[in-house]
Structure 1
Amino acid sequence: MGAIAARLGRGPFAALTLFVSINADLPAILSRARQLFPSCQVTGCTTGGEISAAGYDDDQIVAIAYPVSGFAAETVVIDPVDAIDSRVVIGQLQRARLSLQQRAGGFPHELGILLIDGLSGREEHVVASLAGGLGPVPTVGGSAGDGRRFENTLVFADGRIHQRTAILTLLRARAGFRTFSYDSTRPSQTRMVVTHADPAERAILRINDEPAAGEYARLLGRPTDSLGPHVFAVHPVLVRAGGRYHVRSIKAVRDDGALIFFGAVAEGMVLTLSDESDLTGHLREVMADLGRDERPGMILGFDCIFRRIDAEARQKTGEMSQILRDNHVAGFSTFGEQFGAMHVNQTFTGVAFYGADGAP
């Protein structure tokens, strides 16, 4: 943390967000962060990998500092996410926004950055509960990771480490920004129907009235025992909603042949296999779009772990890292992304900050 503090400078900072490798000594890092930044709100999470100045990275700490010259911040902790009282959450949000208005009413822009335990399975419930209190405030975020173990993901705020918790950082900003959520997938002509599901477990048990894993593998022309993260990353399934397709990322195959997902599932849902996409070409288009009128000073990125796995499978990691590096992207590889009132999968989601003196 000493080296990070030296690079960030003296501040002062309204908030500091840390994206930390699951292999790090998190209690020691948070203790040191409180010593180095005693008047700053420190929040963050563990990751599925980091996005640093080198692009895709591992076993690092990525720090995003919001200087008081351009930002004011309030933190809202939702703990636990299993038993959310929407009235309580709305009250928390209203008080936080009022505090920001009173302290930083001259900063015209509002933003929410949401971090959630990536194995809680409660992201949809959290964003729905927040919607009533956030109103028009744009919100982006990511679900915490643990490398590729899929066992133990953590979020933290004010020196306390949490599971099954969400951390919302509310910001007032002086300069403008733009939130975004992009995915590179393209629908194929192959569709399937979910005929038996367990929504509480995000599990699909049968597809086309056949065991789910076996039917998914058959449609791919692969043996069932070949299914795993690389196959799920390269061949995701899509759900059409709101006039566009959204990815439903598969997390694992259960012993009974069910497919476990990172997002909501339901019986009767129509799934579409994705065609192979051009990851690097699409990311270049994204960056061109974000810089169409003005080049961002910094981009905070929440990039799905399966996009990274897909890039590795196609030997595109170096190219992807170069694009991220050239465009000043910092963030982490997520177990899911939050965009507005939606929990999404296999996207590159985030916020581009504009103005050289208005970026973190």
Structure 2
Amino acid sequence: MRIFGGSGVVRDAIVPSASTAANDPNAAETLSRQLGPGPFSLIMLFLSPAADLERLPAEAARVFVDVPIVGCTTAGEISGAGYDEGTVVALALPSEFFRVDTVTIPDLMRLDPPALAAAVVRKRVAMARQYPELAHEFALLLVDGLSQKEDELTSALAAGLGAMPMLGGSAGDGTRYARTFVLDGGRLSRNAAVLALVRTECPVRVFNFDHLMPTERRMVVTEADPRRRVVRQINAEPAAHEYARLVGKDPQQLSPFTFAAHPVAVRMGTRHHVRAIRQVMDNGDLVFFSAIDEGVVLTITEPADMVGQLKRELAGLCMPERPTAILAFDCILRRLEAEEKQVIGRVSGLLRRHGVVGFSTYGEQFGPMHVNQTMTGVAIYPPGTVLPEKVPE
């Protein structure tokens, strides 16, 4: 049974979630009351940048004693109300059904991929031996969304995770792109990440989808600074001017709404993966959310029906049974597109009716890849649910 309360609380027999206003002076205590007594194996907190980031982490560590806490700042929240802003959202994994271990990556600038992969292997193997009765598993990654290290990090982690599916989101800062933080225990950090390894009695389905259709319009990156994710030239022309020409826009009027409406993507195998543009610099350079390099061929995509696609995907996740919880990481560009097209109320309503909880990101992690302009997450089902091999179309 699922009960929706006036404060954004979503109580569930298995996985409870809750939310409160970012300016709540007792936010952690409010969330604790809403979540219930536990005991819990993990607490996740998704923090609006408007929250008291100086005080809240320590308060959460005091309230949720002896429970691992992970989280990050957001570019908007997803609560029991649907799309939300100016809130703190919590989701708890009860010890009755879940076991969790965490890996802290404290300094992404000094990333050691072989050592990190080895550490993840050791923890994953230890959990499998300790909890053999828990047949389902996934890994949850939260990473600084301005670190520009997500691609290298996901590749390193995938080497250690093996067949364990990974999903995650990049921390946000609204549409300011100034400061993003990852929460690990009672501490907020920059240039950091935290990985939670989860084993559970509950069947899970990790998902990733978008609503973008590739066009015949292509362009080649001819000058770039890969370290900074900056593209200076496209088709040997100034980047912003050439991109604007190809999408039929005035280069002086480029904005996040333009980038959301006309994403560019790289083809990998049979699928296109967005390499989202974050902003245009005063000199006409384009800054990307994810890895970019010279010689890369980019395809301009056009959004299809966001509402219809979301409705179909969420309906598919409800087969053969409605999930007990859906944790989702939703790219900020999807929210901006919904605002621009004036469908944000319909999108929010779908998220609310399906009990989706999570946050708007600066990028999503799915397996070994860092991607953009997708919704990525995990659906958690009651114990004993038999899932089909493939999500129904």
| TM-score grouping bracket, smaller chain normalisation | over 0.9
* Paired position in structure 2 for 1:46: 73
Kindly indicate whether the alpha-carbon contact (under 8 Å) linking 2:83 and 2:348 is maintained by their aligned counterparts in 1.
yes
CA deviation map 1:113-144 (0-9, x unaligned): 00000000110000111122111110000000
CA-based RMSD of the aligned residues comes to: 1.4
CA deviation map 1:50-84 (0-9, x unaligned): 00001000011110100000001111011211221
* Paired position in structure 2 for 1:242: 269
- Quote how far apart the aligned CAs of 1:291 are: 1.5
User: Is 1:137 matched up with 2:167?
Assistant: no
- Quote how far apart the aligned CAs of 1:105 are: 2.5
**1:33 counterpart letter in structure 2:** A
Q: In 2, Cα distance between the equivalents of 1:95 and 1:271?
A: 39
2:325 to 286, 298, 310: 298
User: Is 1:88 matched up with 2:115?
Assistant: yes
What is the correspondence of 1:155-170 to structure 2 with a 5 Å cutoff? Answer: 155-170=182-197
**2:97 counterpart letter in structure 1:** G
**Unaligned runs of at least 5 residues, structure 2:** 1-27, 386-393
**1:191 counterpart letter in structure 2:** R
What is the correspondence of 1:1-360 to structure 2 with a 5 Å cutoff? Answer: 1-355=28-382
Q: In 2, Cα distance between the equivalents of 1:102 and 1:39?
A: 23
Q: In 2, Cα distance between the equivalents of 1:98 and 1:276?
A: 42
Q: In 2, Cα distance between the equivalents of 1:180 and 1:206?
A: 34
**1:221 counterpart letter in structure 2:** G
CA deviation map 1:333-352 (0-9, x unaligned): 00000000010000000000
Q: In 2, Cα distance between the equivalents of 1:52 and 1:277?
A: 25
Q: Runs of 4 or more off by more than 6 Å in structure 1?
A: none
Q: Using a 3 Å threshold, how does the CA distance of structure 1 residues 156 and 276 change in structure 2: closer, same or farther?
A: closer
Q: In 2, Cα distance between the equivalents of 1:135 and 1:274?
A: 32
Q: In 2, Cα distance between the equivalents of 1:221 and 1:111?
A: 42
Q: In 2, Cα distance between the equivalents of 1:150 and 1:34?
A: 27
**2:371 counterpart letter in structure 1:** V
Q: Using a 3 Å threshold, how does the CA distance of structure 1 residues 275 and 106 change in structure 2: closer, same or farther?
A: same
State the secondary structure of the residue aligned to 2:109: coil
Kindly indicate whether the alpha-carbon contact (under 8 Å) linking 2:183 and 2:189 is maintained by their aligned counterparts in 1.
yes
Q: In 2, Cα distance between the equivalents of 1:153 and 1:52?
A: 20
**1:172 counterpart letter in structure 2:** R
**1:222 counterpart letter in structure 2:** K
- Quote how far apart the aligned CAs of 1:17 are: 0.6
Q: In 2, Cα distance between the equivalents of 1:219 and 1:174?
A: 50
Q: In 1, Cα distance between the equivalents of 2:381 and 2:270?
A: 30
Kindly indicate whether the alpha-carbon contact (under 8 Å) linking 1:84 and 1:129 is maintained by their aligned counterparts in 2.
no
Q: Using a 3 Å threshold, how does the CA distance of structure 1 residues 356 and 55 change in structure 2: closer, same or farther?
A: farther
Q: In 2, Cα distance between the equivalents of 1:73 and 1:49?
A: 26
State the secondary structure of the residue aligned to 1:271: strand
State the secondary structure of the residue aligned to 1:64: strand
**2:182 counterpart letter in structure 1:** V
